[in-house]
Amino acid sequence: LAKTTQPISMDSYEGQEVNITCSHNNIATNDYITWYQQFPSQGPRFIIQGYKTKVTNEVASLFIPADRKSSTLSLPRVSLSDTAVYYCLVDYGATSGTYKYIFGTGTRLKVLA
């Protein structure tokens, strides 16, 4: 059964870089990796998506090693407003045999002043 795992929580200070890793051992050739941010009482919001190597946008970077069994979301210089839960999502496609779009367990990031 496909599984996506993340650390439960992380603390950081304002201005630091935060790296959150997601493990997705059963990822297949055509599966994408997407990261979402969720604030209380809101739905998850798209941050970044990647397939391999490195992707960067205005808010984050995503690092994916060659074997693609894990990925790392990097948030540069976090602020208090980045306190949220971060989820990775893998579109397992035909690999899982049960269902697709498996969200990770979520990482609760707390940014301290």
Partner 1 sequence: ETGVTQTPRHLVMGMTNKKSLKCEQHLGHNAMYWYKQSAKKPLELMFVYNFKEQTENNSVPSRFSPECPNSSHLFLHLHTLQPEDSALYLCASSQAEGGEKLFFGSGTQLSVL
- Spatial separation of the C-alpha atoms in residues 75 and 91, rounded to whole Å: 22
Binders of partner 1 in range 38-97 (CB under 8 A): 41-46, 49, 87, 89, 91, 93
Interface stretch with partner 1, choices 18-26, 33-41, 53-61, 71-79 (CB under 8 A): 33-41
105 part of the interface to partner 1, by CB under 8 A: yes
Min. distance of Cβ 71 from partner 1 in angstroms? 15
End-to-end CA distance of the chain: 40
Instruction: Check if the beta carbon of residue 12 is closer than 8 Å to that of residue 77.
Output: no
Select 82 or 104, whichever has its Cβ closest to partner 1: 104
Does the CA dihedral 56-109-25-43 come out positive or negative?
negative
Select 26 or 105, whichever has its Cβ closest to partner 1: 105
